[in-house]
Amino acid sequence: MSPIIVDRLIKSYNGTLAVHNLSFVVQPGRVTGFLGPNGAGKTTTMRVLVGLATPTTGRATFGDVAYADLPRPQQTVGCVLDASFHPARSGRNHLRVLASTAGANDRRVDALLGEVGLGDVARQSVGEYSMGMRQRLALAAAMLGNPDYLILDEPANGLDPEGIRWLRTVLRDFAASGRAVLISSHLLNEIEATADDIVVINRGRLLAQMPMSELKLGEGITRARVSDMRAALQALAALGADVQTAADEHGAYLRIHSHDVGQVGSALFGSGIVVDELVTERRDLEQEFFSMLESSR
Amino acid sequence: MSGVLRADLRRITTTKLWWVALICIFVLSAGYAALPATVAWLQGRAGVATSPFNDPGIIRSIYNGGNVLSRILAMVVGIVAIGSEYRYGTLAASYLATPRRVRMLLGKAGALLIFGLIYGIVSVAAGMLVAIPFVLANNGSLLLDQPATWRSIILGVCSIALWTMIGMGIGILIKNMLVALLVGIILGFLVEPIVSVVFFVKRWDQLLNLMPTGATNAMLQITSPVLFAAQHPTPWWLAGLILATWCLLPVIAGMLSAVRRDVA
């Protein structure tokens, strides 16, 4: 299976650049999180990728095939862009309309409705659906043709916590079977839990593309408040970790450049030092994201 | 292509409008067919016309009496078929399913033409049902043995189907469905008939023949003055071409504009 390739993509609307010279790659077998603040150009990029908007210059393709040139688009790419439905049509009929061109029959439609948890409301009109139910229906529509690629723009919008967990499993399983997922979301902790790679953009430009593992999110800092700072510094020197003193509104504390809180704790215990507080300040995707945005200004 | 057509047939059958329009067309066509029938009957009683229910022009007028109304409803179905996609934001999903936009729009046009034919058949059938009692009571004939009658019936059905294309064209060109409906109904129900009536009253047959109403009447060889038939109509085939031009121009213009347009 070929990767999704976005190559020097430029899209301008009436002279305003929505996407500026953007290049990145979405590898099969991985979930790629697509991050950026509102208006960064994520949705525009995705819409160009699936042929709903034409690029000003550059290309966005599946392998080297543009969406419009795919012989069987629904069997190749599944999209969740905006959960828009005719309110008077039932969820089941919405899928049946799309099934006509996706090579899916009514049995597949009913099975999918069950899979996404809409079996009981399948024959109700979509106008009566909650936001979360619409998202599930949109995902079912994307899955109709059993595609190789999934393109999801804010799919977690309106999903309850259980739905978000379910979505995460669906996407992980999808990627684990060797297929590619490109997902944009403003829920950074959700991306952190789901994505293998991230692509960060701001104002239409690429800020970073990297595997999540390179962010080394686990490598945090341990914060310790102790009765005797000097004794603690001596005790921790044996660990070989960098230690700094710092202070906040609760007083002075130590910053130890290690996320192994157990090792730090036992070192302090071994020297008979009273510990008031011992926590890991774990770096997360959110901090990384904001520091990337900061450094791009 | 069959999948694209099936998708659009399903788009139409999975909402209510198609059968609401069907019932309206049947009932209103019967009512509108009764109009020329009643006028002919009164003329026959008054001695103005001799045996009007043997007059092919009158009989054809009754069969196609519902045309003026049915074609408006067919147009409405055409407008809504594309307008609702804009209104509810489902056009993106339709294009994703069939990214070749011309193909997707042709599928929609094909599905609309099929429904247009059904509406046409129902409209003419209502007209024929109305004609039967008048013909029986007045010693007339349904003239079903005459090829000209059948040509009029078939062309009547086709003309209604063609009006779905005017609707689809307006629906693409005017993205706001409610505005498109308003424009379509005002043009089809008020402006075009009023202009046609003016031409009819002034006896400007050449201009009247160029209007959709005049072209339809000439094509169906309708002679009833109730339906504003021209005194000197164009040949039926030329009239058919004029009507087809009216119907196909908006939809072709609409398709050309939709093919390149970004979907919001």
| Residue (of B67, B82, B69) closest to B12 by Cα position | B82
CA of A45 vs chain B CAs: smallest distance (Å): 13
Which two tokens mark B61? 């007028």
In this predicted structure, the answer to whether residue A137 has a pLDDT above a threshold of 90 is yes
C-alpha A255/C-alpha A9 separation (Å) is 44
ipTM: 0.87
The stretch B56-82 carries a mean pLDDT of 92
C-alpha A105/C-alpha A99 separation (Å) is 6
Nearest C-alpha in B relative to A127: B88
Question: Among partner residues B84, B88, B92, which is closest to A52 by beta-carbon distance?
Answer: B92
List the end-to-end C-alpha distance of chain B, in Å, as a whole number.
26
Residue B227 has a CB neighbour count (10 Å cut-off) of 23
Residues in chain A closer than 8 A to B92 (CB atoms) = 52, 81-82, 84
C-alpha B231/C-alpha A266 separation (Å) is 109
The answer to whether the beta carbons of residues A87 and A94 sit under 8 Å apart is no
Nearest C-alpha in A relative to B82: A86
pLDDT bracket for residue B1 (50, 70, 90): low
* B102 touches A: beta carbon within 8 Å: no
* B257 touches A: beta carbon within 8 Å: no
In this predicted structure, the answer to whether residue B213 has a pLDDT above a threshold of 90 is no
* B98 touches A: beta carbon within 8 Å: yes
The stretch B80-107 carries a mean pLDDT of 94
The stretch B246-258 carries a mean pLDDT of 90
Question: Among partner residues A70, A73, A97, which is closest to B14 by beta-carbon distance?
Answer: A97
C-alpha A243/C-alpha A246 separation (Å) is 10
| Residue (of A150, A148, A137, A159) closest to A34 by Cα position | A150
C-alpha A72/C-alpha A76 separation (Å) is 6
* Three-state secondary structure of A254-280: EEECCCCHHHHHHHHHHCCCCEEEEEE
Give the C-alpha distances (Å, rounded to integers) separating A220 from A215, A223, A259, B34: 11, 10, 5, 87
Instruction: Give the B window 225-244 contacts with A, CB below 8 Å.
Output: none
What is the residue whose two structure tokens read 């094909």? B110
pLDDT bracket for residue A94 (50, 70, 90): very high
Residues in chain A closer than 8 A to B100 (CB atoms) = 68
In this predicted structure, the answer to whether residue A195 has a pLDDT above a threshold of 80 is yes
Nearest C-alpha in A relative to B94: A98
The answer to whether the beta carbons of residues A221 and A281 sit under 8 Å apart is yes
pLDDT, tens digit (0-9, with 9 covering 90-100), for B8-32: 999 999 999 999 999 999 999 999 9
CB within 8 A of B258, min separation 6: which ones? B101, B105, B172
Residues in chain A closer than 8 A to B20 (CB atoms) = none
Give the β-pairing of A180-184 and A197-202: unpaired
* B97 touches A: beta carbon within 8 Å: yes
Which of B14, B20, B106 would best serve as a mutation to test chain A binding (most A beta carbons within 10 A)? B14
Rounded to two decimals, the pTM is 0.86
Question: Among partner residues A79, A89, A97, which is closest to B96 by beta-carbon distance?
Answer: A79
C-alpha A85/C-alpha A173 separation (Å) is 27
Give the C-alpha distances (Å, rounded to integers) separating B230 from B68, B113, B157, B158, B216: 15, 28, 21, 21, 11
Give pLDDT, residue A116: 93
pLDDT bracket for residue B221 (50, 70, 90): confident
B210: number of CA atoms within 13 Å, CB side?
A: 5
Which two tokens mark B258? 């939709």
- Give the DSSP letter of residue B174: S
CA of A210 vs chain B CAs: smallest distance (Å): 29
* B4 touches A: beta carbon within 8 Å: yes
Give pLDDT, residue A72: 94
Q: Say whether A52 and B4 touch across the interface (CB within 8 A).
A: no
In this predicted structure, the answer to whether residue A295 has a pLDDT above a threshold of 70 is yes
Environment class of A150 (CB within 10 Å of its CB; exposed 0-12, middle 13-18, buried 19+) = buried
Question: Among partner residues A81, A89, A98, which is closest to B97 by beta-carbon distance?
Answer: A98
Residues in chain B closer than 8 A to A93 (CB atoms) = 10, 14
Range from A87-91, A189-193, B45-49 carrying the lowest mean pLDDT: B45-49
Which two tokens mark A154? 């804010």
Nearest C-alpha in A relative to B107: A101
CA of B86 vs chain A CAs: smallest distance (Å): 10
The answer to whether the beta carbons of residues A33 and A199 sit under 8 Å apart is yes
Q: Say whether B4 and A100 touch across the interface (CB within 8 A).
A: yes
- Give the DSSP letter of residue A186: S
C-alpha A278/C-alpha B153 separation (Å) is 90
- Characterize A267-277 residue by residue with b for buried, 16 or more Cβ atoms within 10 angstroms of its Cβ, and e for exposed: bbeeeebeeee
Residues in chain B closer than 8 A to A72 (CB atoms) = none
Residues in chain A closer than 8 A to B260 (CB atoms) = 54
What is the residue whose two structure tokens read 């005459």? B146
pLDDT, tens digit (0-9, with 9 covering 90-100), for B150-195: 999 999 999 999 999 999 999 999 999 999 999 999 998 899 889 9
- Higher-pLDDT residue of B127, A260: B127
The answer to whether the beta carbons of residues B207 and B179 sit under 8 Å apart is no
pLDDT bracket for residue A219 (50, 70, 90): low
Nearest C-alpha in A relative to B80: A86
Residue A38, phi then psi, degrees to nearest 5: -55, 135
Which of B96, B108, B263 would best serve as a mutation to test chain A binding (most A beta carbons within 10 A)? B96
Question: Among partner residues A73, A86, A101, which is closest to B84 by beta-carbon distance?
Answer: A86
Q: Say whether B88 and A86 touch across the interface (CB within 8 A).
A: yes
Percent of chain B at pLDDT exceeding 70: 99
- Classified as helix, coil or strand, B102 is helix
* B43 touches A: beta carbon within 8 Å: no
Which two tokens mark A258? 């290690």
Query: Any alpha helices (H) in chain B, and if so which ranges?
Result: 2-13, 17-46, 56-63, 67-87, 91-97, 101-137, 147-173, 177-185, 192-202, 205-210, 212-220, 236-260
pLDDT bracket for residue A133 (50, 70, 90): very high
C-alpha B68/C-alpha B227 separation (Å) is 8
CB within 8 A of A129, min separation 6: which ones? A85, A91, A121, A137
Type of residue found at A269: F
Residues in chain B closer than 8 A to A87 (CB atoms) = 88
pLDDT, tens digit (0-9, with 9 covering 90-100), for B44-66: 888 877 788 888 888 988 999 89
In this predicted structure, the answer to whether residue B68 has a pLDDT above a threshold of 70 is yes
Strand partners, A181: A31, A150
The answer to whether the beta carbons of residues A198 and A212 sit under 8 Å apart is yes
The stretch A74-80 carries a mean pLDDT of 96
A→B contacts (Cβ < 8 Å), by residue, are: 47, 50-54, 67-68, 70, 73-74, 79, 81-82, 84-90, 93-94, 96-98, 100-103, 141
The answer to whether the beta carbons of residues B51 and B119 sit under 8 Å apart is no
Give pLDDT, residue A218: 62
Which two tokens mark A29? 């077998």
- Mean pLDDT (chain A) is 90
Q: Say whether B260 and A101 touch across the interface (CB within 8 A).
A: no
The answer to whether the beta carbons of residues A151 and A82 sit under 8 Å apart is no
Give pLDDT, residue B227: 72
Question: Among partner residues B7, B84, B260, which is closest to A101 by beta-carbon distance?
Answer: B7
- Mean pLDDT (chain B) is 90
